[in-house]
Structure 1
Amino acid sequence: MATLNIPENYQAVMPYLIVKNAGRFIRFTQDVFGATEQFKTMRDEHTIMHAEVNINGSTIMFADCTDTYQQQNAGMFIYVESCDATYQKALDNGAESIMPPANQSYGRSAGVKDPFGNTWWITNP
């Protein structure tokens, strides 16, 4: 079997989202999850053609939606230090609650829908 040479800071599987207002999506992930911007290239002055953020070693790729590439959202599960604090940060940054923080068999968990249509299941183990 051939060796798979995945570039540094990438994983074998990464979500690729197409969102409305990708620039604001970057800020949301930074403010709520402490993301760092890894890469961004613009289609024009206002439209992101491709961008990447990294959250604790996991890369999310995304772009602005266009007439050709319609919005495509996802549901994501994310481990955090504090479910309650991250849930509140998400709400403070425009997310809506799907499920308030509660103790589950796998940890403390909550659900939010971000302003871009993605669902985040926020969990601290």
Structure 2
Amino acid sequence: MMNTDTRGIPDRYGYAAIAHIMVDGADAAISFYAEAFGAQELFRIARPDGSILHAEISIGGSVVMVGDAEGPFQSPARAHGTTVGLHVFVEDVDAFHARALDAGAESLQAPADMFYGARQAMIRDPFGHVWAFLTQQEDIPPKEIVRRGTELLSPAG
């Protein structure tokens, strides 16, 4: 059986890769994340022109790095899309989704119960990043998740 801690986060996600998202306008993005997601700014390193070389924020206990896009990195707006979805477990996905919409996020998926045991909502922030916010509701072993997913995708499902 898979364990979930008291905050609704599965143990296997307690130590995860840290996202470093690049945007055009990192200062504005950090302000948006504070309003929409309740992000807390941990620190920032700004260049003399005010652009952000590196900043770190905390969303629901998860650290996300933020910076102004440059060098090999492009913002999703300049890339005309994104290849990464950011997943963050939160205590109340419904309230989180509503707050994000009030702050100007676009809903891509309203909160819904998913076959893998989480309630999930998906949004696009004004900077082009796609976020999935989840609240774990049921501890399901990986084999059962695969079974449920396969059943869902089968022609008879």
Quick one: distance in 2 between partners of 1:83 and 1:58? 15
Shift of 1:80: 1.3
Aligned to 1:46: 50
Return the match for 2:129 from 114, 118, 121: 118
Shift of 1:115: 0.7
* Structural RMSD (CA): 2.0
Quick one: distance in 1 between partners of 2:107 and 2:132? 11
- AA at the equivalent of 1:119: V
Return the match for 1:107 from 83, 105, 118: 118
- AA at the equivalent of 1:84: D
Residues 103 and 13 of structure 1: is their aligned pair in 2 closer, same or farther, counting only changes over 3 Å?
Answer: closer
- AA at the equivalent of 1:109: Q
Is the deviation greater in 108-117 or in 31-40? 31-40
Is the deviation greater in 58-67 or in 76-85? 58-67
Aligned to 2:62: 58
Is the deviation greater in 62-71 or in 24-33? 62-71
Return the match for 2:31 from 16, 23, 27: 27
Shift of 1:35: 1.8
Whose helix fraction is larger, Structure 1's or Structure 2's? 2
Residues 101 and 19 of structure 1: is their aligned pair in 2 closer, same or farther, counting only changes over 3 Å?
Answer: same
Larger Rg: 2
Report the identity percentage: 37
Residues 95 and 44 of structure 1: is their aligned pair in 2 closer, same or farther, counting only changes over 3 Å?
Answer: same
SS in 1 for 2:127: coil
Q: List gaps (5 residues or longer) in structure 2.
A: 1-14, 77-81, 137-157
Quick one: distance in 2 between partners of 1:79 and 1:90? 15
Shift of 1:23: 1.0
Instruction: List 4+ stretches of structure 1 deviating above 6 A.
Output: none
When normalised by structure 1's length, the TM-score is: 0.79
Shift of 1:13: 2.7
